Amino acid sequence: MSLLTNKRILLCSGGGIAAYKTPELVRRLRDQGADVHVMLTSAAQRFVSTLALEVVSKHPVGVDLWSTDGKSQIVHTDAGKDADVIIVAPATANLIARVRHGFADDLVTTTIMASDTPVLLCPSMNTDMLDNPLVRENIDALAALPRYRVLEPGKGDLACGVIGRGRMPDPIDIIEAARAALSPNDLSGRRVVVTAGPTREDLDPVRFITNRSTGTMGFALARAFGARGADVTLIAGPVAKRSPVGVARRVDFVTAADLERAVLSHVAGADLLVMAAAVADYRPATRSATKIKKQPGDMSLPLERTTDILASLVDNPVREGVTVVGFAAETDDVERRAKDKLKRKKMDWIVANDVSRRGVGFGTGDNEGLLVSATGVTHVLERADKQAFAERIVETLAAALVGQPS
Ligand code: CTP
């Protein structure tokens, strides 16, 4: 189950060239389990076919204000109210102006006016239009209303031939914003530090020791905390990943020592520390300044221990008041080993994964495991894609934090 599972989303598209991207957006939302309904303005119908949208959404596409639903009921009054969130993408300058001024002269605007469902506006237009003071004023006025959330337009090649701001936000960002709109804001005011990704320890200028972590799990957790309103610091290893939308600040690390420094400087005063990073336990005892040349025969590498960051926090005053969540990636005897780590490193929670199973854990899209608390509660986390898996963890942690002073 993801936050979007069984959620009803109404996608309203205005007449911009980016309307051609909407079938892909519908498909991605449906991949997350959402039930997507679509309405097009008359101008949008010039850029995208109703047939394509009908086929991908599996519902008739609304285009006509005056049609009925076959039961003599005017469709617009219900479609907005029935939705959990309305996405306006692309939101053209014209459509934004009409919404801002309360117009209700076609199916899209009437539907928006006839409900109080949260609206995500995805402005999409050429840069000059976006910079026009009247357009700016309309966008700012809507952004100031609690019902409307305005996404930042993307940068890049625009249909008018210039490179600039004004592209429709990426589907991934729109989906993140939809997730945030549907999440309870129960972590607002809470400070959460999430570490993610592998460490990398140099042997020489061309070689290093690392591990199979891709950071996906930690990034998914950061996204899920951000969606619930937490103030998220993401401490990220060497992975080529964009920070999720809800992340307030990002600190990058390469080595276990960098990570240790970053954790120590951000953990004081946090409500939660989630150590999803896969930290090297050993690093090369020396780093050669020049490339190590091969020699006849075998070679062995002297390694030295890195600091166990979680263990080192146990007696550190900075840990006071911080709920600590660790991960245990195991290949055998998973639950016992995880519980052992939980005790040894005095964590409050541990997420245990069996990384020997095919298709879950490191480098895969899915995860499954156990979430075990120091108080003895064990939650079984069913197999799910890493985002849904993260949302399940965050939901449990959020429930546990409620009632604790912030
Ligand atoms: N961890 C840490 N510092 C380290 C190694 C691990 O803070 N130097 C954290 C990880 O981020 C994780 C938890 O400790 O949240 C457990 O990590 P893991 O490597 O599974 O446990 P270890 O205690 O290192 O045990 P082992 O490698 O022997 O299984």
* Domains defined for the chain, CATH in brackets: 8-182 (3.40.50.1950), 191-402 (3.40.50.10300)
Higher pLDDT pick, 235 / 166: 235
Q: Which of 223, 271, 265, 276 is nearest to 248 (CA)?
A: 223
pLDDT (average), residues 291-296: 95
d(CA 89, CA 114): 19
Answer whether residue 332 shows pLDDT above 80: yes
Structure confidence at residue 329 (pLDDT): 87
pLDDT confidence of residue 3: 82
263 CA closest ligand 1 atom index: 7
Burial class from Cβ neighbours inside 10 Å (0-12, 13-18, 19+) for residue 232 reads buried
Kindly report the average pLDDT of the chain as a whole number.
93
Interatomic CA distance for residues 349 and 398, integer angstroms: 12
Q: Give CA separation, 37 vs 7, 89, 90, 107, 174, in Å.
A: 11, 13, 15, 13, 16
Which amino acid would we find at residue 268? A
Q: Strand runs (DSSP E) across 265-348, as ranges?
A: 272-275, 282-284, 303-305, 323-330
Backbone φ and ψ for 136, nearest 5 degrees, come out as: -55, -45
Closest protein CA for atom 24 of ligand 1: 281
Is the peptide bond between 90 and the residue preceding it cis, with omega within 30 degrees of 0?
yes
Q: Which residues are catalytic?
A: 160
How many angstroms separate the alpha carbon of residue 3 from the centre of ligand 1? 30
Q: What is the pLDDT of residues 336-357, one digit of tens each?
A: 999 999 999 999 999 998 888 7
Per-residue pLDDT for 362 more than 80? no
- What distances in angstroms separate CA 229 from CA 111, 116, 182, one per listed residue? 28, 21, 11
Give the Å distances, CA to CA, from 22 to 39, 56, 91, 119: 11, 10, 12, 16
**Is the pLDDT at 221 greater than 90, yes or no?**
yes
Could you count the other beta carbons within 10 Å of the beta carbon of residue 121? 25
Q: Is the pLDDT of residue 247 over 90?
A: yes
pLDDT at 36: 98
Q: Ligand 1 pocket check: which of 272, 273, 281 to mutate, most ligand atoms within 8 Å of Cβ?
A: 281
How far apart (Å, rounded) are the C-alpha atoms in residues 405 and 400? 11
pLDDT digits (tens, 9 = 90+) for 14-68: 999 999 999 999 999 999 899 999 999 999 999 999 999 999 999 999 998 887 7
Q: Identify the pLDDT of residue 70.
A: 67
Chain-centroid distance, C-alpha 270: 20
Q: Give residues (CB < 6 A) around ligand 1.
A: 256, 275, 277, 279, 281, 306, 308-310, 326-329, 341
Residue 52 alpha carbon to ligand 1 centre in Å:
49
Atom of ligand 1 nearest to the CA of 326: 15
Atom of ligand 1 nearest to the CA of 310: 7
Residue 331: pLDDT band by 50, 70, 90 thresholds? confident
**CA 203 to CA 220: how far, in whole Å?**
31
Q: What is the pLDDT of residue 132?
A: 96
pLDDT at 72: 67
Q: Ligand 1 centroid vs 144 CA: distance in angstroms? A: 45
| % the chain with pLDDT above 70 | 96
